[in-house]
Structure 1
Amino acid sequence: MSGKVKLLRYLANLGYGSRREVLGLLGEERVTDAAGELLYGDDVRPHEDIRIDGEALDPAPGLLLMLNKPAGVTCSTKDQGKLVYDLLPKRFRLRSPVVSPVGRLDRDTSGLLLFTDDGQLLHKIISPKSKLPKVYIAELANDLRGNEVATFASGTLMLESETTPLLPAELDVLGPRRARLTLHEGRYHQVRRMFAAVGNHVESLHRERVGGLTLGDLPEGEWRLLGDVDRVKLFA
């Protein structure tokens, strides 16, 4: 993209400031190429050849990243309390197009959350046609009754206030009050509402996988950029 867009606009779109603020960076001779030569607002250069204060730029447009979201953090730009954007570089929320969560995890749910500024990729991931599996670990308030595996796999379970039954979901019992649930759709608060429908309550919820991606050893509250191999794994 940087090979087609003038530097002034490109840096503004990456969140380095308004056009006036980026002009200030240029005027202060803080923007150079990799060899240290000064760059100007009308220049057109590859993303990887641009430096600000000698540092490489933030990830190029079309990025995909994963965050290990802690519980107690909200997927929003404006709500009160701690936000997922507080865990990312500040410029990410200023970019155009914006770096957006791919779907959402509610405030009390932890785990794998994807972000991208690529609208087509976002749509592909969340599209019902993709049916990407999303895997959760649920800690429950009450013992499982024993019929939940069959109920969730039936394809007939209805959630309150909805008129379309859920797609079949796989439940693995990990303990009397602990289970792994694999979904192939993404309805509002689906895991919590599914367990409520069978008379239970989710005490804590953690998403451990989306498609073929897992958090691996990514610490809670940290993020990492995903590369081509990760993208293939996501849809594998």
Structure 2
Amino acid sequence: MKLVRLIANLGYGSRKEVAWMFREGRVTDLDGEVLYADDKLPHERILLDGEPLDPPPGLVLVLNKPLGVTCSRKDQGRVVYDLLPPRYRLREPALSTVGRLDRDTAGLLLFTDDGALLHRIISPRTHVPKVYEATLAEDLRGHEAELFASGTLLLESETTPLAPAQLEVLAPRHVRLVLTEGRYHQVRRMFAATGNRVETLARIAVGDLTLGDLPPGQWRALAADEVAQIFAAPL
């Protein structure tokens, strides 16, 4: 692939705009030698304005999603793409969220431009565990763990029972829940089915991947070994 197309596909500009970057000498190799639009060079040896290029296709990002931000490209309020560099909206192939967290749910959100990987993570057949922590409006009644694990819980307006889920009680109103599917507002609806209400909700892990010390609103690219953690059992 010609360098002009590679850089344009990373979202740095249209091909015409990137072509001007070459004419202005802004694209160089690691030794500072000016590159030309039809040169061929390994991705990791290319600099733009003296900085390494963004990662190539196959990118996986993790974001610590704050409250009040929507998993959407367009919304009246803030969206998760506002927390990434603007050029990430323009990448080809497109960078998409891996599933969604609603506006009132915080925590671990993944992005990728790898469609096969995205499908593998979100497919119920893969059984990738997603781990949530929630605080509740009322004390647990004591039957929730057995009910959630039974595989018989049927949410309102649905005809297929939920897959078994694991509930860990941390305090009378504080729980950790492990799901292997991702239905619409699932955690909130599960507790609503027991007569309770979720007050705060955060996803803390996907598989064995956690946020670590990543602050709210911050993101980073994942290395290959970290992507592999997604398909491991949760901690």
User: What TM-score results when the alignment is normalised by the length of structure 2?
Assistant: 0.96
Counterpart position of 1:22: 18
Q: Does the alignment pair 1:196 with 2:156?
A: no
Q: Equivalent residue of 1:115, what SS?
A: strand
Q: Which of the numbers 100, 103, 109 marks the counterpart of 1:107? A: 103
By how many angstroms is 1:231 displaced? 1.7
Give the whole-Å Cα distance in 1 for the aligned partners of 2:123 and 2:163.
14
Counterpart position of 1:141: 137
Give the whole-Å Cα distance in 1 for the aligned partners of 2:30 and 2:168.
52
Counterpart position of 1:223: 219
Give the whole-Å Cα distance in 1 for the aligned partners of 2:124 and 2:145.
23
Give the whole-Å Cα distance in 2 for the aligned partners of 1:167 and 1:230.
26
By how many angstroms is 1:146 displaced? 0.9
Counterpart position of 1:9: 5
Following TM superposition, the consecutive aligned residue runs of length 4 or more in structure 1 with deviations greater than 3 angstroms are: none
Give the whole-Å Cα distance in 2 for the aligned partners of 1:71 and 1:182.
21
Listed as ranges, the gaps of 5+ residues in structure 2 are: none
By how many angstroms is 1:205 displaced? 0.3
Give the whole-Å Cα distance in 1 for the aligned partners of 2:209 and 2:150.
26
Give the whole-Å Cα distance in 2 for the aligned partners of 1:45 and 1:210.
35
Give the whole-Å Cα distance in 1 for the aligned partners of 2:122 and 2:130.
11
Per mean C-alpha deviation after superposition, the further-off stretch among 222-231 and 161-170 is 222-231
Give the whole-Å Cα distance in 2 for the aligned partners of 1:229 and 1:12.
28
Q: Equivalent residue of 2:117, what SS?
A: helix
By how many angstroms is 1:178 displaced? 1.2
Counterpart position of 2:73: 77
Counterpart position of 2:147: 151
Deviation string, structure 1 residues 158-211 (Cα, Å, up to 9, x no partner): 011111000110111111211111101111111011111111111110000101
Q: Equivalent residue of 1:179, what SS?
A: strand
Q: Equivalent residue of 1:235, what SS?
A: coil
Counterpart position of 2:115: 119
Alignment identity in percent? 68
